[in-house]
């Protein structure tokens, strides 16, 4: 699988680089919510990552079966299942913690509808991270990411272990979708395409920057609008197609594995590891959390890239998203303040 994937471009090239550094370090990855729709394929993909030596899988249900299944794959990572009150053991010594725990969207629900359930789950999990692996890189997948990342920041601050470089919202699926849709529409090789996606991770806060896409292609206004909308509504497209049976799981597991792999490569000293991520940022005036490209290194997201040059269409879209993004951030901060 890995050998086949390596031909497929940037994603697979990342895995290849991980292979080169695989022998260098022992790395423990914990996945919280590992028996879920995202968690299961994500656990499998992390088991296939040669940089992982220990794979700790936690869920409140069905964990032993999934872990036993994944553990039979003949790769290097040692798999262990944790449930119930074993969260602390699962997290102890982890370098990267990936969080896809929570409820997914059903048709008609927005990401904000998930807020009350998932905010509580994230709060408890991040409290355990603060106690058991306070220096780990946190990859937040649980939605609404625009709010769950600020919640996590508040919890970590309260426990005096907040390092903004270590807390990352996973927006990689937006980038994966933007690359796929752009390559398809413009007739480009998807393995060679790059599209930065900035802002947040819901609706109009997702802003693909086609003007910075490479290779550059002449796009009509209609194409720009259609591709922007399709990227923003990618999650809804899957929710509707699954008709009540959940949201994006397979493409999300792929995107989550890609981002976790990038974090591991950064931790292991690989140069120029750059991915988009939703982090505490000054890239957009007046918005405390924002996604742009970040440089991943030994200390997590070590450098945050600016938004860069954008055109009029993108400027308008950026202005339009700011109130919604700030409201989601504020609701996360408020939730943390009210739930001590
Ligand atoms: P799912 O319901 O299939 O799986 C969630 C898993 O979390 C379940 O196995 C459940 O037992 C577990 N869980 C619930 N509470 C827990 C707790 N306190 N500790 C540990 N595990 C717990 O849901 P799915 O489809 O895997 O989605 C998970 C989350 O990922 C949702 O919040 C969803 O909205 C989000 N998501 C994020 C995306 C992104 O791009 N960042 C894309 C797609 C989904």
CA 27 to centroid of chain Cα atoms: 19
Q: What is the ipTM of this complex?
A: 0.99
- Whole-number Å distance, alpha carbon 34 to ligand 1 midpoint, is 8
189-218: string of b/e by CB count within 10 Å (b at 16+)?
Answer: ebeebbbbbbbbbbbbbbbbbbbbbeeeee
Which token pair is 312? 């009029």
Residue 104, SS3 per DSSP: coil
* Residue closest by Cα to atom 4 of ligand 1: 36
d(CA 45, CA 264): 14
Beta strands in 129-218 (DSSP E): 137-140, 167-169, 197-199, 206-208
Contact 274, 298 (CB under 8 A): no
Q: Is 331 annotated as a binding residue?
A: no
Residues 6+ apart with CB under 8 A from 108: none
- Is 35 annotated in a binding site? The answer is yes
Residue 252, annotated ligand binder? yes
* pLDDT value for 111: 67
Ligand 1 pocket test, candidate residues 34, 101, 117, most atoms within 8 A of CB: 101
Q: Whose CA is nearest to atom 18 of ligand 1?
A: 121
DSSP string over 261-330 = HHHHHHHTT-S-EEEEEEEE-SSSTT-SEEEEEEEEETTEEEEE-------HHHHHHHHHHHHHHHHHHH
Q: Which residues pair with 140 in a beta bridge?
A: 99, 169
Ligand 1 nearest atom to the CA of residue 101, by list position: 7
How far away, in angstroms, is 249 Cα from ligand 1 center?
A: 9
Mutation pick for ligand 1 pocket among 42, 83, 104, 105 (CB with most ligand atoms within 8 Å): 104
Measured in Å, residue 246 CA sits from the centre of ligand 1 at 10
The residue nearest atom 32 of ligand 1, judged by CA position, is 142
Ligand 1 center to 86 CA (angstroms)? 19
93 CA → ligand 1 middle, Å: 23
- pLDDT (0 to 100) of residue 110: 77
| Active site residues per annotation | 201
Counting as low any pLDDT under 50, the low residues of the chain are 1-2, 4-13, 16, 18-23
CB 29 within 8 A of CB 100: no
What's the CA-to-centroid distance between 216 and ligand 1, angstroms? Answer: 36
Q: Exposure of 257 by Cβ count < 10 A (0-12 exposed, 13-18 middle, 19+ buried)?
A: buried
**How far is residue 37's CA from residue 246's CA, in Å, rounded to a whole number?**
8
Cα–Cα distance measured from residue 96 to residue 334, given in angstroms and rounded to the nearest whole number: 27
Q: Cα-Cα-Cα-Cα dihedral of 92, 124, 104, 168, to 10°?
A: -60
Give ligand 1 pocket residues (Cβ under 6 A): 32-33, 35-39, 58-61, 100-105, 114, 118, 121, 124-125, 141-143, 145, 170, 173, 201, 246-249, 252
Measured in degrees and rounded to the nearest 5, phi and psi for residue 197 equal -125, 125
141 annotated ligand-binding residue = yes
8 Å CB contact between 38 and 249: yes
Instruction: Out of 45, 59, 291, give the residue to mutate to test ligand 1, the one with the largest number of ligand atoms within 8 Å of its CB.
Output: 59
Alpha-carbon distance of 21 to 19, in angstroms, equals 5
Q: Given this model, what pLDDT does residue 108 score?
A: 80
Return the DSSP state at 61.
S
């Amino acid at each position: 699988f890995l050998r086949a994937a390596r031909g497929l471009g940037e994603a697979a090239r990342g895995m290849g680089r991980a292979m080169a550094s695989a022998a260098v370090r022992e790395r423990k990855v914990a996945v919280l919510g590992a028996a879920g729709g995202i968690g299961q394929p994500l656990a499998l993909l992390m088991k296939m990552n040669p940089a992982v030596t220990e794979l700790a899988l936690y869920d409140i249900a069905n964990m032993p079966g999934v872990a036993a299944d994944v553990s039979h794959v003949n790769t290097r990572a040692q798999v262990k299942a944790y449930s119930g009150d074993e969260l602390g053991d699962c997290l102890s010594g982890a370098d990267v913690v990936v969080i896809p725990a929570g409820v997914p969207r059903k048709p008609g629900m927005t990401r904000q509808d998930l807020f009350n359930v998932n905010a509580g789950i994230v709060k408890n999990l991040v409290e355990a991270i603060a106690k058991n692996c306070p220096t780990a890189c946190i990859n937040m997948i649980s939605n609404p990411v625009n709010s769950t990342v600020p919640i996590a920041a508040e919890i970590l601050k309260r426990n005096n272990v907040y390092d903004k470089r270590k807390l990352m919202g996973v927006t990689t699926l937006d980038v994966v979708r933007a690359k796929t849709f752009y390559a398809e529409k413009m007739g480009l090789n998807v393995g060679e395409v790059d599209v930065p996606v900035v802002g947040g991770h819901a609706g109009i806060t997702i802003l693909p920057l086609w003007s910075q896409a490479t290779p550059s292609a002449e796009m009509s206004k209609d194409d720009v609008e259609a591709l922007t909308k399709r990227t923003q509504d990618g999650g809804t497209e899957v929710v509707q197609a699954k008709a009540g049976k959940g949201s994006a799981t397979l493409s999300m597991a792929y995107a989550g594995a890609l981002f976790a792999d990038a974090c591991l490569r950064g931790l292991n000293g690989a140069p120029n590891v750059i991915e988009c991520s939703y982090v505490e940022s000054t890239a957009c005036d007046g918005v405390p959390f924002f996604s742009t490209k970040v440089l991943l290194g030994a200390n997590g997201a070590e450098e945050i890239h600016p938004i860069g040059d954008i055109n009029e269409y993108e400027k308008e879209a950026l202005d339009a998203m700011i109130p919604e993004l700030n409201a989601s951030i504020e609701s996360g901060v408020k939730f943390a303040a009210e739930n001590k």
